[in-house]
Structures are given as C-alpha cells and as structure tokens.
Amino acid sequence: MMREAVADYRVSGQLIALPLLLGTLGEVLTATGDREAAMAVINEALAVVESSGDERFEGELHRLKGEVYMHHKDWDSAAACLRRAGQIAHTQGARWWELRTSTSLGRLVLQSDRGAADRRAAREALAASVAWFTEGFDTADFQQAKQVLTELS
C-alpha cells in the first residue's frame, strides 16, 4: 500500500515531500526485514534531495540509512551515516531530527558493544538532545530517547 501511495504521489507531479515519503517507506521496509529494498528507496530519496536541492529531510534520510546498516551489523557504515545525520540536523537547527539521530547513535553503541569512550560520548550527546525539549515528553521519539539514555547510564 505504501508503494502504491508513493507511486500515486509521483503521478500527481508533486515532488516536495517525495524524499520524506520514500524515507518513511524505507523505514517500514527496514522494520519488515526487506533491508535491500529499504536501502534502495533511501538512496533514491537522497538522490531526489541532491537533484532538487531541497535538503529539509537529508539528515533524517542519513539516519534511516544508518539504521539499515545497523540491521546488517555494519557498525562503521552505520556510525558514519549517523554522524553525518547529526551534523546536518545540528546545522539546520532541527532539534527533533537531532534527537532521533542521537537516539539511533545510542542504540548503535549499545548494540555494537563499543568502548566506554563511545558510550560516554553517545550518552552526553543524547542527554544534551533530551535537555533541549520543553514539551513533547509523551511522544514516542522522546520516550525512546529517554529509554536509550537510561540504558547508556
């Protein structure tokens, strides 16, 4: 159904939200285990970002790409994507994207059993992201961030 929705959106001629829609499809494909298709869709979304110059969703797309690499246990590629996602989100002042990226990086550190220095850096980055928020404490993203932060402590 999501693939059909993306195809219908393309037919409409509107492309402004296409990277976000493709990213969401990639996230669902990752969750359902079709990681090769997820990577292809996310790479397509990044190509749309590059060709259009509309960079609003670029950081989130790199985060999603990092998540796919995490599922493949390709820790170094995942870390590189997440670092890039974090830099983009920070530069854009996109606090929510930065929170999601810090949470993903924290999960990466926990899953890959990285050293104490990486764990400390992930905990500090995630704690800083969590501290920025003054509302939205009941959202799933914020709750996941708090859970990962607890696990990193």
Characterize 111-147 residue by residue with b for buried, 16 or more Cβ atoms within 10 angstroms of its Cβ, and e for exposed. ebeeeeeebebbbebbeebbeeeeeeeeeeebebbee
Query: Between 58-71 and 95-112, two packed helices, what is the crossing angle to 10 degrees?
Result: 10
What is the pLDDT, as a whole number, of residue 15? 78
Say if CB 78 and CB 111 are below 8 A apart: no
> In this model, does residue 13 exceed pLDDT 80?
no
d(CA 36, CA 44): 12
Q: How confident is the model at residue 54 (pLDDT cuts 50, 70, 90)?
A: confident
Q: What is the pLDDT of residues 73-132, one digit of tens each?
A: 999 999 999 999 999 999 999 999 999 999 999 999 999 988 899 999 999 999 999 999
Residue type, position 3, single letter: R
pLDDT above 90: percentage of residues in the chain? 82
d(CA 18, CA 21): 5
The average confidence (pLDDT) of the chain is: 93
Show the domains of the chain with their CATH numbers: 2-152 (1.25.40.10)
Q: How confident is the model at residue 67 (pLDDT cuts 50, 70, 90)?
A: very high
